[in-house]
């Protein structure tokens, strides 16, 4: 097992030290985390604009050399599943595998993100050492990138994503499914979050906020069949709120005989623990998929766990339906007791 970061306050410290500093006053921290040391990873501006001193491998090496450093470390660590939980960054899909190769070979740091470099490196590991899965729970398009899907097919690996659905978005998806099944015409949807952790701080930067808005908003047209007016985005950072984000939702719709009904929801959700539970599931499911010979990506997993599930061309569906589909997929593989 390995852990990577670029925050200078974390690199070379044990995960136990980092966890005690961050959550030691709220949760018991396992002593086994003393055996894990935070290694230096790839930065590529993922913390630019945030109040952290950051340094990545690419400040010492070319991107190709940095990838070689990672590969050497991974040969020692022998991973099966990589999980990407870095702070939301701004990035665009390549959609052309040759364009991705060219960006890496030319050290084009202006168009590559840290997530894309990690995913590329993991694919090389999958090709040279053994098949692995790369799980992307941030908005950077990886499973939504035709280039990445092709790359992972060719290396017998799996890329899952994009953007883990932990709070208001899966609830919104299920409510929209409920209304669609009852032939209720939605007038508009309002959903927003405010939080005080590092990710919400990053989302105060417009380009990063746009990435999250794109993954959160994709559910409306996919589920309803029409693009109802909507405002679905993270809208603010307030440090005292901490990790327990505030969620608000308002859906107005036409019911029978064109009467108007409304749904109002106000909630507080522990952000990091909600994601942590998904990561445990995703690591196990990724290994199930690998062991059963899947390549590229797996829609049944993505549809339940991600805000913008793909491969490209597939739709977001409600989490109620996605859960049923996931169970059926596992039954077909005889993997429910995996």
pLDDT tens-place string over residues 113-171? 999 999 999 999 999 999 999 999 999 999 999 999 999 999 999 999 999 998 888 99
Work out the average pLDDT over 276-280: 94
Give pLDDT, residue 92.
94
What is the chain's mean pLDDT, rounded? 93
pLDDT surpassing 80 at residue 223: yes
Residue 191, Cα to own-chain centre: how many angstroms? 19
Give pLDDT, residue 338.
52
* pLDDT digit string, tens, across residues 83-95: 999 999 999 999 9
Give pLDDT, residue 207.
78
Give pLDDT, residue 215.
67
Contact indicator for 234, 200 with CB cutoff of 8 Å: yes
Give pLDDT, residue 199.
87
* pLDDT digit string, tens, across residues 33-82: 999 999 999 999 999 988 999 999 999 999 999 999 999 999 999 999 99
Alpha-carbon Rg for the chain in angstroms: 20
Q: Which residue intervals of the chain are DSSP H helices?
A: 15-23, 63-77, 97-105, 114-128, 146-154, 168-181, 198-202, 206-217, 219-224, 271-291, 299-305, 319-332
Contact indicator for 34, 50 with CB cutoff of 8 Å: no
| Percentage of the chain modeled with pLDDT above 90 | 82
Closest of 7, 79, 84 to residue 38, by C-alpha: 7
Enumerate domains of the chain plus CATH numbers. Answer: 1-69 (no CATH), 174-271 (3.30.360.10)
Contact indicator for 67, 120 with CB cutoff of 8 Å: yes
Residue 9 in 3-state DSSP?
coil
What does the alpha-carbon distance between residue 124 and residue 296 come to, in Å, rounded to a whole number? 14
* pLDDT digit string, tens, across residues 304-326: 999 988 787 788 999 999 999 99
Give pLDDT, residue 273.
87
Closest of 49, 60, 56, 44 to residue 8, by C-alpha: 56
Contact indicator for 169, 193 with CB cutoff of 8 Å: no
Q: What are phi and psi of 116, to 5 degrees?
A: -65, -40
In angstroms, the Cα distances linking 293 to 21, 134, 157, 289, 333 are 41, 15, 9, 6, 11
- Which H helix or E strand runs over 275? helix 271-291
Work out the average pLDDT over 202-227: 81
pLDDT surpassing 90 at residue 184: yes
CB environment 158-191: b (16+ within 10 A), e (fewer) = bbbbbbbbbbbbbbbbbbbbebbeeebebeebeb
Give pLDDT, residue 52.
93
Give pLDDT, residue 61.
98
* pTM attached to this predicted model: 0.93
pLDDT surpassing 80 at residue 337: no
* pLDDT digit string, tens, across residues 321-331: 999 999 999 99
Contact indicator for 13, 37 with CB cutoff of 8 Å: yes
pLDDT surpassing 80 at residue 7: yes
First to last CA, the chain: 20
């Amino acid at each position: 097992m390995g852990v990577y970061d670029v925050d200078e306050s974390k690199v070379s410290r044990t995960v136990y030290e980092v966890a005690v500093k961050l959550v030691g006053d709220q949760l018991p921290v396992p002593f086994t985390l003393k055996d894990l040391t935070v290694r230096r990873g790839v930065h590529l501006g993922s913390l630019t604009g945030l109040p952290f001193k950051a340094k990545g491998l690419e400040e010492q090496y070319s991107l190709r050399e940095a990838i070689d450093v990672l590969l050497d470390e991974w040969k020692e660590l022998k991973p099966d599943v990589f999980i990407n939980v870095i702070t939301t960054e701004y990035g665009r899909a390549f959609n052309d595998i040759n364009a991705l190769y060219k960006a890496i070979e030319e050290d084009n740091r202006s168009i590559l993100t840290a997530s894309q470099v990690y995913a590329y490196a993991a694919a090389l590991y999958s090709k040279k050492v053994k098949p692995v899965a790369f799980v992307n729970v941030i908005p950077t398009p990886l499973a939504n990138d035709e280039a990445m899907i092709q790359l992972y097919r060719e290396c017998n690996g799996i890329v899952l994503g994009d953007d883990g659905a932990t709070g208001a978005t899966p609830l919104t998806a299920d409510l929209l499914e409920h209304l669609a099944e009852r032939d209720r015409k939605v007038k508009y949807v309002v959903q927003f979050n405010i939080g005080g952790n590092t990710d919400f701080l990053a989302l105060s930067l417009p380009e990063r906020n746009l990435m999250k808005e794109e993954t959160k908003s994709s559910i409306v047209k996919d589920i309803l069949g029409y693009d109802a007016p909507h405002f679905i985005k993270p809208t603010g950072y307030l440090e005292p709120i901490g990790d327990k984000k505030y969620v608000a939702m308002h859906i107005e719709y036409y019911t029978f005989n064109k009467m108007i009904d409304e749904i109002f929801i106000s909630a507080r959700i522990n952000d990091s623990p909600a994601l942590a539970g998904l990561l445990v599931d995703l690591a196990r499911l990724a290994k199930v998929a690998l062991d059963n010979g899947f390549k590229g990506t797996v829609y049944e997993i993505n549809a339940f766990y991600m805000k913008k599930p793909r491969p490209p061309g597939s739709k977001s569906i409600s989490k109620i339906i996605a859960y049923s589909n996931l169970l059926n997929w596992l039954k077909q593989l005889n993997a429910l007791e995996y």
